[in-house]
Structure 1
Amino acid sequence: MQILVLAPYPPYPPRGGGALRIFHLLRILAQHHRVTLLTFAPDAAAAQALSSLRDWLELHIVMGPPHRSLRQRAFTTLVSPLPDMALRNASPAYVTTLNNLLVSGQFDVVLAESIEMAPYLIQAQRHGLRTTLDEFNAEYLLQRRAAINDLRHVFRPKALVGGVYSLIQWLKLAAFERHILQTVDRVLVVSAEDEAALRRLAPRACLHLVPNGVDCTYFAPPVEAPHPTNDLVFVGTLDYRPNVDAVLWFVHEVFPLVKRMHPALRLRLIGRRPHRSLLSLHDDRHIVVTGEVADTRPVLAEAAAVVIPMRIGGGSRLKLLEALAMATPIVSTSLGAEGIPGLRNEEHLLLADTPSAFAHAVSRLVTDRTLAQHLGRNGRLFVCAGYDWSQIAARLEAAIRW
């Protein structure tokens, strides 16, 4: 088959959840199909970094997407019927390049990565091509959770503004996702929870579960396990709203309780583009905002524990899968571990949803290293048995062929 993949940002280097998923799906598809990738790149350095993909696929790059100011986003939030995500990657240059490819190529399927690229599938359908959307999240559900979370704090101006914005986006996304689900030929979803949420919007949509995965060969604990540091580690894109919310909740509600029991522990934040609200937390003693690192494996191998205090979100967490593969002990909220069936509290990780329970779970892992190691071993066995990308390949093949 000849497959055209539309990406909203560079999938290489594969850093961040979306880029990781796109990269591994591309790698799987390129083993048995002719793959063409049309992707945005924000600058010349990002475009140059993509060049290594030319060894196994045909690559086309459009610089962008065009910058949208906060004022423009606020205006469209008020006047456009479309959600912000449907407008985020609007680009005349991308439209032109896509049209040229559709006219000159003999594609069997056009696969759009994330709801941001869904509008371009309409263009592909005008050429009579089969279309597939890869939904990273049930986006309307994510915004619904964000709205409910923020509107609980109506007396905080920033929370009120964020809640109103999420409420508007929730309603717009529900309508937009329903339309897309009823329009495209197939939709890939990453979890059973997302599948159920999207089914509520469009009962007749053709949905296929293709979960997120992890490379268990690459993410593997070292043979000589290092002595754990005093670091509690959070890994994720640090300007992504659910991650920012998770870190702020942990810092303000959970970490003070942890510090009373274990004064030597510190929190280390790993990830791209730290939001200013997170940068302001850095004190170089108790909280360290490291930012992006080229390789997270040494950090995960040495961590006292990984914390995943998510309160907003959907899909499934690639950072959770990677920590499990590294046999790192984990404390997560129930929402942070959502989307991975079979993952069990007290067997593979610890789950806690209140500040006191979360702090107590962290303390258990720090003081009982036998428990921490037991959970780490079980977690790796679990994730490598069912979530290695090599096992997900068959699901992707079944979903993409028809």
Structure 2
Amino acid sequence: MKILLLAPYPPFPPRSGGALRVFHLARGLAMHHDLTLLTFAPNQAAAAALAPLRERYSVVTVHGPPPRSMLRRAVTTLAAPLPDMALRNRSQPYAEALSRLLAAEHYDVVQAESIEMAHYALMARDLTQRIVLDQFNAEYLLQRRAALADLKGGLALPPARLVAGIYSLVQWRKLSRYERRLLRAFDHILVVSEQDRAALQRLVPAAASKLAVVPNGVDTARIRPGAVRGDLGASTMVFVGALDYRPNLDALRWFTTEVLPLLRQKRRGVRLLVVGRAPGRVVQTLASDEVELVGEVPSVAPYIDGAAVFVVPMRIGGGSRLKLLEALAMEAPVVATSMAVEGIAGLRNGKHLLIADRPQAFAEAVIRLMHDPELGRTLGAAGRDHVINHYDWDASIASLNQLYQQVSEPVANERKRR
């Protein structure tokens, strides 16, 4: 089949969670189908970096997406009927590039990568056999959790938290309506976990047959444990994630204010390394003698491998955590919240990692791994086995190709009728 994939950012090099997913799903589709990728690229260097992909399939780039000021986002949050995510990547040049491709070729399937690109696939509704949406999260659920977390303190909250909570409250309502519309409009919707599938099905029960789980994964042949575990120090923890992503900011704020003081009482010299792109003002205010802001690095592997404990203190979010899967694949000793492991089926507390939700319990779990490296090695080995058996990208690609095999049959029948 001829497939057109619509991406919100370049999938190569695959440094972010979304880019990793797009990169591997595109790789899998290109093995069996004639694939074209239409993607935004922020600059010429980013477009040029896609050269390795051009050897496997056709790649078309559009400069962008266009920036949106905070003022414009604030106005649309209040006035626009659509959620912020549906407005984020609106671009006339991208729409024109899509129209040119659709005029020049007949695509059997147009697949939008993430909800930000859904409206472009809807443009192709009458010009293709099938439209598919790859949902990175059940977005309304993510914003619901963010609103409930941010507004927990009521009007006594700091102004920034109150504004963030109101934003999420508004977006929760708008996303619920928008995702209902998409569930009805698209032929198939890919989700990363059974939890996200159930959350979206609650919006439109009749859409159950459209929802297919294609989990996030890890390239376990490449993501492996390093030669030295814990060489950054026996009291060193690491947190990895995009530092402009609100669930990550909430996790860091909670960990540094609620958990770190308890760790300080139990063990001298504890420190947290914060690794990730786009560290803004909020993250910078958390830096201290015990919290080192590393920022973006060419590879997070030395930090995951070198820390005594990998912490995932998420309290809001959805989907599944690619960095957690990578840490497990590297046999890292992990302490995570229940929210962090949601979406990764089969993970068990005390077998693959330690799970704790309250500050005291989280601190005790971290100290336990620092004091007992052998336990960390045992958990790490079991964690890697679990990822190899259930979350290798090859298994996810097989799930995707199984769906496309089902899609190809009605497409072939339609061709015969022409």
TM bracket, shorter-chain basis: over 0.9
Residues 146-225 of structure 1: pairs in structure 2 closer than 5 A: 146-154=146-154, 155-156=156-157, 157-205=159-207, 206-223=210-227, 225=229
User: Which residue identity is paired with 2:12?
Assistant: Y
Choose from 360, 364, 381 the match for 1:360. Answer: 364
User: Which residue identity is paired with 1:148?
Assistant: L
Q: CA deviation at 1:66?
A: 1.1
Deviations 1:265-290 (A, max 9, x none): 2100111101211122223x311111
What is the aligned partner in structure 1 of residue 373 from structure 2? 369
Q: Percent identity?
A: 53
What is the aligned partner in structure 2 of residue 336 from structure 1? 340
Q: Single out whichever of 222-231 and 60-69 deviates more from structure 2.
A: 222-231
Contact 2:330 / 2:384 at 8 angstroms: preserved in 1? yes
CA distance in 2, matches of 1:326, 1:292: 19
Q: CA deviation at 1:228?
A: 5.7
Q: CA deviation at 1:46?
A: 1.4
Mapped pair 1:15 → 2:15? yes
What is the aligned partner in structure 2 of residue 109 from structure 1? 109
CA distance in 2, matches of 1:226, 1:287: 17
User: Which residue identity is paired with 2:121?
Assistant: L
What is the aligned partner in structure 1 of residue 413 from structure 2? none
User: Which residue identity is paired with 1:183?
Assistant: A
User: What is the RMSD computed on CA atoms of the aligned residues?
Assistant: 1.1
User: Which residue identity is paired with 2:265?
Assistant: R
Q: CA deviation at 1:126?
A: 2.5
CA distance in 1, matches of 2:98, 2:353: 45
- Superposition misfits of 4+ residues, deviation over 4 angstroms: 223-228
What is the aligned partner in structure 2 of residue 138 from structure 1? 138
TM superposition score normalised by structure 1: 0.98
Q: How many correspondences in the alignment?
A: 401
Residues 2-401 of structure 1: pairs in structure 2 closer than 5 A: 2-154=2-154, 155-156=156-157, 157-205=159-207, 206-223=210-227, 225=229, 227=231, 229=233, 230-283=235-288, 285-401=289-405
CA distance in 1, matches of 2:341, 2:32: 32
CA distance 1:335–1:175, change in 2 (3 Å): same
> Helix, strand or coil: the match of 1:370?
helix
Deviations 1:153-176 (A, max 9, x none): 221221111111100000000000
Q: Which runs of 5+ in 2 are unaligned?
A: 408-418
Task: Determine which structure has the larger helix proportion and give its number.
Answer: 2
Q: Single out whichever of 260-269 and 121-130 deviates more from structure 2.
A: 121-130
CA distance in 1, matches of 2:70, 2:196: 29
Contact 2:108 / 2:128 at 8 angstroms: preserved in 1? no
Q: CA deviation at 1:128?
A: 3.7
Q: CA deviation at 1:223?
A: 4.6
Q: Which runs of 5+ in 1 are unaligned?
A: none
Contact 1:228 / 1:302 at 8 angstroms: preserved in 2? yes
TM superposition score normalised by structure 2: 0.94
CA distance in 1, matches of 2:242, 2:232: 24
